[in-house]
Structure 1
Amino acid sequence: MPWAEALAFAAGWARDGRFGRTDWRLPNRRELRSLLSYGAARPALPPGHPFQNVFLGWYWTSTTAAPAPGYAWYVHMEGGRMFYGRKDQDCLCWPVAGETLLPRTGQTRCFDGAGEGITCAGTGQDGELLRGTLWPTPRFETRDANVLDRLTGLLWARAADAAKGTVSWAEALDIAAASGEGWRLPNINELESLVDAGSAFPALPAGHPFTHVGEAYWSSTTSAFEKNWAHALYLHKGAVGVGFKSGWDFLVWPVCGPENI
């Protein structure tokens, strides 16, 4: 079903009190991604999960794509990729209910199917519901050559290009580890935690302190779908994809921690 129908379908569950609940909604991008297990594929869900009728296709989220507001984010349940698609195309719908302990996505605006800004009230979109924990203020604390993310406790290199250019995955692992004791290449969820879904080019919170921010970054997470590929964050857009490990396609952004904050 198209995106607007998916939003309406989830709202219909809430209106009808399906399964005794009235808080059903279309999940935002972080809520839907939270189901994923990057150690599994076909579907990319934890082994022994209780879900039925899981299709190996794209599932809508309630989060509009900031790089192209006529598109919305969706997650592919075969391998765990996350990209965005035109709001008028047909994808799957997986309603969610309840409160979330996950951080907010950062999206605060709402958009129609053509990408025009609209009033949020009654839309059921991420920009209306604002589900998730608030980000701390300030979000980031600069510590000389590093930056502490006070939301996650992770310590990031302030200069987001440790290799001074794109490298292979194996080189990225070595370069990150060589940054110092405790430093490493982040996993894909750690990288995605930096994303502000209300921003693009780059998809980082406004006023962030990072320098040398590039387009796409290696993670330490191997793809369970194809073991010679690894997950990567396309930071300019906020997308989660994959790259061939031997290819020189992505940058290196070391991380350390998390710290107890």
Structure 2
Amino acid sequence: MKNNRKYCQNLRFLNILYLGILLFANQCNFPSLDRVPLLDLLALRSTICLANPNDSICRSNLSTPDITSPTIAFTTPTNLATNVPICTGTPCRARVVFQFSESMDTSIQPMGGFFTWNSLSFESTPVQITYVWSTTTFPNDTFTMSFSWIWFPENQRIQIMSDAVNWKDLAGNTLNANINLEFTTGYINQSYAISDTEQINCYDDTNLSTCPAITATFPRQDGIMINTPLARNYTAPTLVNVSDYITTDLVSGLVWTSCNLGQTGPTCGGAPTIYSWANAMNACASYNSANAGSGYANRTDWRLPTRWEVHSLPNFVTFGPSMNLTAFPNPTTNSVLTLSGTSSFNTVYLLQGNVGIMTTALKSAASFIVRCVSSPTPIVTKNYQDLGDGTIRDMNSNLRWDKCTLGLSGPTCSIGTGTLLTWGAALNACSAIGPEWRLPNYNELGSLIDNRFSLPAIDPTFFPNTISAAYWTSTSAPGTTANAWTINMTNGTTQGTPKGGASARARCVRNHP
């Protein structure tokens, strides 16, 4: 006790009496230690023990306190990652995962911001986020954010920010640095069975004609090839619950809201609501919490459709609007928005409802109508097989394609020149290859578009040296009979092109085998 009293006297003299409680195990009565730096306590203990190793304080079991800030071990996706999948896991959902270096305090509700790029800067974007803590290495060291959009928008720069003070470990230490996670999403690898365009009329290069009379000069055009490759088959608007109407594409498996958002009833009465891009994303997401959480029509995976999905909607019998009016009553002629962004980040793909073409518009425009989609799971991905004879088989649609653009040949399609043709010349050139060979219709050619690739937007492994330019389809434009639809292989946009001009190229197709 004599040595202990001596130490107490020294501590009082140094005006750090409050250290005694911890260092001398209650042998001296000192004030509170609330404001004592823990490192100072340990340093003083080390000094005392160096001078007198046999002192009782040196034999006491004092554990080292946790004063280390937690860190982020890794994130999924990683910071500045590109081509990030728009959904992960089963079911496939928009998620971001943070794993920390230790167990975290889950009683604290993390706060932060979600931002998307508008071509000039990041801007705050409303979205509902749910959080789940789980265990990877330590209890509650993994934090998963799930987004109400179901899928992230395609080709979009995204930023997630949160201050370090919003995150603490079990000892109360704050995160070592603010969170600033930035990544860019890619395009989904997506494929569905392909249906016919429903075009039943035949055309020459300027006017509507009769199919038997036109067969010789404009062969195997869309109106002749009925139900090719598969007959289109929609359900009529189907009532689920009290007032939810859905239309199912029985070929692709896609389930659509029968009406544009804002319209109601079996005939889709009323005017559609006009949305901005971000509000459109959230409008579809809100359908998942409808009916007390059971979802619109008992589905909880409603989202904005992709470019590929919207591409499948038009039919080419009607004009203004170009939609199946039985399956989708009162569709209006406005443009239907997609979640697919273009390479410029500030524009998005949309379907121009009046004529059925795919085009682009500024994301900032508040002029979009919305039709939501629910897709089957699991997602079917594109699957091609090189048959080794200059043709490529689509294993999903069972279509057999020319590997090369007409006019090109060789293993890498590098011999020759891609030939510019009139519409009639393209029809005849494909038909001349052999039985069943034809110029593809709008839906068939559109199935090759793959925005994971650019300039051109097609898989270069199976379709090398494709030219980033317009390619003919066999589908005429009902509203302007002197035009046929072309698809631009640069990015998948479509337009009506005068049939008489040698202004587009061709790739031929047939059913396999």
- TM-score interval, smaller chain: 0.7 to 0.9
Cα distance change of structure 1 residues 90 and 199 upon mapping to structure 2, 3 Å threshold: farther
User: Distance between the aligned counterparts of 2:344 and 2:385, measured in 1?
Assistant: 27
- Taking structure 1 as the reference length, the TM-score comes to 0.78
Alignment of 1:69-108 (within 5 A): 69-100=345-376
Matched, 1:250 2:504: yes
Give the Å deviation of 1:177: 0.9
SS at match of 1:172: helix
Q: Is 239-248 or 158-167 further displaced after alignment?
A: 158-167
Pairs within 5 Å for 1:21-170: 21-52=299-330, 54-65=331-342, 67-100=343-376, 132-136=379-383, 139-162=384-407, 164-170=418-424
**More displaced, 32-41 or 207-216?**
207-216
| Pair 18,145 (structure 1): closer, same or farther in 2 beyond 3 Å | closer
Contact 1:24 1:95 in 2 (8 A): no
Deviation of 1:247 after TM superposition, in Å, equals: 1.6
Alpha-carbon shift at residue 206 of structure 1 (Å): 5.0
| Structure-2 separation of matches of 1:203 and 1:188 | 16
> Is this contact kept in 1: 2:393–2:512, CA < 8 A?
no
Indicate the residue corresponding to 1:199 in structure 2: 453
Per-residue deviation, 1:196: 0.7
Aligned to 2:250: none
For 2:301 and 2:492, the matched residues in 1 are separated by 28
Q: Judging changes above 3 Å, is the alpha-carbon distance between structure 1 residues 226 and 153 closer, same or farther for their aligned structure 2 residues?
A: same
Q: What's the CA shift for 1:15?
A: 2.8
Higher relative contact order (CA 8 A, sep 6+): 1
Residue in 1 aligned with 2:268? none
Aligned to 2:283: 9
Q: Offset of 1:204 from its aligned partner? A: 0.8
Inter-partner Cα distance in structure 2 for 1:75 and 1:190: 17
The CA distance in 1 between the partners of 2:421 and 2:470, in whole Å, is 11
Kindly report the root-mean-square deviation, in angstroms, between the aligned alpha carbons of the 2 structures.
Answer: 2.2
Which one of 235, 241, 244 corresponds to residue 489 of structure 2? 235
Structure 2 unaligned regions, length at least 5: 1-274, 408-416
Distance 1:85 1:230 in 2: 23
- Give the equivalent residue in structure 2 for 1:182: 436
Structure 1 residue 214, shift from structure 2 partner: 4.4
Report the counterpart of residue 87 of structure 2 in structure 1: none
Query: Structure 1 vs Structure 2: percent identity of aligned residues?
Result: 23
- Aligned length, in residue pairs: 226
Provide the C-alpha distance between the structure 2 equivalents of 1:3 and 1:88, rounded to a whole number of angstroms: 7
Corresponding residue for residue 20 of structure 2: none
Q: For residue 226 of structure 1, what is the aligned residue in structure 2?
A: 480
Measured against aligned partners, the alpha-carbon deviations of 1:219-251 in whole angstroms (never above 9, x if no partner) come to 000011211111111011111221011122100
Q: Post-superposition shift, 1:212?
A: 4.7
Runs of 4+ residues over 6 Å off in structure 1: none
Secondary structure (helix, strand or coil) at the match of 2:314 reads coil
Q: Quick one: distance in 2 between partners of 1:219 and 1:89?
A: 31
Q: Is the 8 A contact 2:404 2:463 kept in 1?
A: no
